[in-house]
Structure 1
Amino acid sequence: MLVRVGFSADPDDAFMFWGLASGTVDARGFEFEPVIADIQSLNEWSLDGRLEVTAMSAATYPRVHERYALLPHGASFGSGYGPVVVAREKLSLDELRNEEIVVPGKLTTAFLVLRLALGGEFPCRVLGFDEILDEVASGRARVGLIIHEGQLTYGDAGVEKCLDLGEWWLLETGLPLPLGVNTIRRDLGPENMRAISDILRASIDAALEHRDEALEYALGFGRGLDDVRGDRFIEMYVNDLTLDYGDEGRQAVRELLERAHAGIEVEWVQ
């Protein structure tokens, strides 16, 4: 059975897939095909169920929960850190409410949490996530919402951090911020869903057990990150909550979706 696995071109996602990519993990007769795309594209593709397994923004999940189930591993949580709002000069939360903010997509968790932090809708413009930092640094935009490796590199562009959404969320809820989740299509059936889930979990385990080899592979997806910052990025987003949500991770997802008025019962593949 062909299983297309969608993930973003980030070191942390690539790190988790290393066990399968390297052949270290037994695929048990499944044919796993990586499909690499930006998170906004993965979110949009999930709306029509294009991929059997896919990463997506936690904020997108309520739209597709009837088609996809949450895998109990592979999620990206920010524990007191996360996407950042940057500008050429520091702006307060009140000042941000009056600014047009360039965002990486309206289906992203970063967009949802920024809307929560600002207390509602705000003027925005959508741009590719990898273009936003330059848009702000060049002065073409005044404020931008930065995700992925830009969380570590924005200082190189000479811009200022105005708000860290992971920090805001932690102060607001006392919980880590669920950013990305891994999901599997329900029409594969319970037996295949469980088997594929076990294999993907084994891939994460293998990467952690062979960290140096997995890190070397993952840094090929670093988009300008040097080895030190690439390693740090993986440490930030591949952790205990990645292996298993646990009670805290599940509570964090439910809290986020409740605040988003999702109105769904959240469940995970067992």
Structure 2
Amino acid sequence: MKRSFTIYHSPDADDAFMFYGLVSGAVEHPDYEFKHELSDIESLNHRALRGELEITAVSVHAYGHLQDRYSILSCGASMGESSYGPRLVARPDAKFGSGSNLKIAIPGKYTSAALALQIYCVGQGIKPQIMPIHFDEIISAIQEGQVDAGVIIHEGQLTYEKSGLKLLVDFGAWWWDKTGLPLPLGVNVVRKDIGVEAISAVAQTLRSSIEHSLAHRKEALEYALSYGRGISAEDADQFVGMYVNQRTIDMGEEGRRAIVRFLEEGRRYGLVPPSSGGIEFVE
């Protein structure tokens, strides 16, 4: 009998694209079967913090609180690049000053977007009120004046201008200029206690699923579009291309250095707790 695991990930076009190989049945493992459960990334962050999940997507920021219990798979990561990442946006008439009354929405306390914002604000000498809001409510909160600005993730990175908002900071570009590295956003992690053999099987199977999806892009994209929250096929194609690529198959040495640097920056400013050990990556 096959050993069964549930893989938890977010209901987004890029994650759906990655897992198409598994969901379609094209990719299987002889000794393990994998089920899927979908939830927004901040909910998964909190569940991983409680140690509930064996295999899950989490934010890199959250991983800074998890690394004693979980290892990072070298495949399945999502990273911002030199021209894109989570974006800080506001109404066209907004003044982005340094006053303490500035209210900025974030898509969750443990998201990488939140950590990027906080590192940025420390560097700029800005001390805003940070307000966690569900990611798909941030644009409307800005429009309605509930907050002065907000950090948007997922498809909102492509559609915010259609909502009448302006770009203040692209955190992918900001981080690249600061470090010369991609901005690490999301990773897939495995709880260390499931065993070395199982961890290796998970890594092998997820990598095969990503490779299958990229090799069968049209079919995988059609599947992913059902998780695109109403965006056009063109936007879905662009979004998937941004976050599922060669670096997703294997983040490589540059990706690993990016994660280490991001969490080091967070610890430097007291935004990420100290850890008793190093980060464990699974090839």
TM-score, normalized by the shorter chain, greater than 0.5: yes
Using the TM superposition, give the Cα deviation of residue 89 of structure 1 relative to its aligned residue in structure 2, in angstroms: 2.3
- 2:74 counterpart of 1:72: yes
Aligned equivalents of 1:96 and 1:41: distance in 2?
A: 31
Aligned equivalents of 2:52 and 2:6: distance in 1?
A: 9
Aligned equivalents of 2:9 and 2:78: distance in 1?
A: 12
Of 49, 54, 57, 1:55 maps to 57
Of 65, 85, 88, 1:85 maps to 88
Given the two structures, how large is their TM-score scaled by the length of structure 2? Answer: 0.91
Conserved 8 A contact 1:86-1:146 = yes
Given the two structures, how large is their TM-score scaled by the length of structure 1? Answer: 0.95
Can you give the 5+ residue segments of structure 1 that lack an aligned partner in the other structure? none
Residue 137 of structure 2 is matched in structure 1 by 131
Residue 207 of structure 1 is matched in structure 2 by 213
CA separation of 1:200 and 1:97: change in aligned 2, threshold 3 A: farther
CA separation of 1:69 and 1:121: change in aligned 2, threshold 3 A: farther
Aligned equivalents of 1:150 and 1:250: distance in 2?
A: 27
* RMSD of Structure 2 on Structure 1 (CA): 1.6
Q: How does 1:1-270 map to 2 (within 5 A)?
A: 1-80=3-82, 81-89=84-92, 94-95=97-98, 99-119=102-122, 122-261=128-267, 262=272, 263-264=274-275, 265-270=278-283
Using the TM superposition, give the Cα deviation of residue 91 of structure 1 relative to its aligned residue in structure 2, in angstroms: 5.2
Conserved 8 A contact 1:90-1:162 = no
Helix, strand or coil at the partner of 1:50: coil
Can you give the 5+ residue segments of structure 2 that lack an aligned partner in the other structure? none
Give the partner amino acid of 1:118. C
Query: Per-residue CA shift, 1:154-183, capped at 9, x if unaligned?
Result: 111101111111111111111110000110
Give the number of aligned pairs. Answer: 270
